[in-house]
Amino acid sequence: MRALRLRPKGAPSIPVEAEAISPDIVAGKALPEIEKLVVHVGNTTRPLGDFFDVEGEVAELAAEQLIIVEGGIPWAKYIGASMTGGRIIVEGDAGMHAGSQMSGGEITVEGSASDWAGAEMRGGLLRIGGDAGDLLGAAYRGSSEGMTGGCIIVEGRAGLETGSFMRRGMVVVLGDVGPFAGAHMNGGEIFVFGRAARRLGAEMRGNGGVIVCLGEVEALLPTFVYDATYRPTFMKLYLRELRDALGVREAGKFIDSAFRRYRGDAAVGGDGEILIAERQGGPG
């Protein structure tokens, strides 16, 4: 891959909408062209070069383009939004909407990412080394589908409505998740290794959607019904994938665990599943 380096010049007082920080947009352009790419700042537009020093190499194809942001840019929104390939590494925090609607490639945020990270993601891999804000991988308001593919892995905690309206894909949170994780979920998988807050899976529909709790569960909605405690083979596949493909070593500890299976949300006639690792205890 060819590496393009963006060095932040400082933190602006208002957020910058920087969809231009995407392999799809910079690939095939000369460095001066990249410096002139437009970013939105309030009700004005400015060149990208006003906010970053740009150097490095540019690939012809997005899939071969690596963008390294040297430092945190929590003020920059939409990093890698809608990207289809290539890779972005943010050596610090990222602003809202990082990786939203991306369909391929990989984004690594070494720090934390703000709200709406990976919203309506369709493919690719989004790694967040710190915490994620609210609405991780969620659907934008008015939309009926959140994530439809791809994988988000958060090493810290995630906020409200993680994976809401999820249809496909996978969200893995190694820390805690806030209330309403998996709300309106209709497919896809959410793995929570930390504490899952209340309203888990509210109005979850089903369609193979599953929330796996490997840590404590604050409370389950009464509209989720306990079925059985068992060791489903399919869980071994997921946990091995987490361990081997995503490097989540913690997952390996649960491969032989028994899980308590709850089905719901009966409030909407859903047949989604919440599986709670037996050895970690159940809902409080």
Partner 1 sequence: MSFTVNGVEIEDTFAEAFSMWGSRIIITAKNRKWADTAASTMTGYATSVIMCDCEAGVERPVPEDETPDGRPGVSVMVFGFSRARLEEPLLKRMGQCILTCPTTAVFNGLPEEEADAMLDIGKSARFFGDGHQVKMRMGDGWLERRRFWRIPVMEGEFLIEERFGAKRAVAGGNFLVLGATEDAALEASERAIDAIHAVPGVITPFPGGLCRSGSKVGSRYAFLRASTNTPFCPSIRHTFPDSLVPEGVNSVIEIVINGLDFDSVKAAMAAGVTAAVEVEGVRKITAVNFGGKLGKFQIYLKECVGGA
Residue 238 CB, shortest distance to partner 1, in Å, is 7
Burial 16-27 (b: 16+ CB within 10 A, else e): bbbbbbbbbbbb
**Which residue of 151, 185, 192, 212 would you call a contact of partner 1, by CB under 8 A?**
151
Please say which residue, 168 or 184, places its beta carbon nearer to partner 1.
168
Query: Amino acid identity of 54?
Result: V
Query: Where do the DSSP E strands lie in 93-224?
Result: 103-109, 123-128, 148-154, 168-173, 189-192, 210-213
Interacting stretch for partner 1, rule CB under 8 A, among 29-37, 149-157, 174-182, 274-282? Answer: 149-157
Structure token digits, residue 284? 């409080």
- Does residue 80 contact residue 90 with C-beta atoms inside 8 Å? no
Please say which residue, 150 or 179, places its beta carbon nearer to partner 1.
150
Q: Is 123 a residue that touches partner 1 (CB under 8 A)? A: yes
Subset of residues 194 to 213 that bind partner 1, contact rule: CB under 8 A: 207-208
DSSP letter, residue 108: E
Q: Is 137 a residue that touches partner 1 (CB under 8 A)? A: no
Could you tell me how far CA 240 lies from the centroid of its own chain? 20
**Which residue of 74, 156, 232, 282 would you call a contact of partner 1, by CB under 8 A?**
232
Q: Is 148 a residue that touches partner 1 (CB under 8 A)? A: yes
Residue 32 CB, shortest distance to partner 1, in Å, is 34
Question: At 204, phi and psi to the nearest 5?
Answer: -70, 140
Residue ranges in contact with partner 1 by CB under 8 A: 103-104, 121-125, 148-151, 168-170, 187-189, 207-208, 230-234, 236-238, 240-241, 245, 255, 273
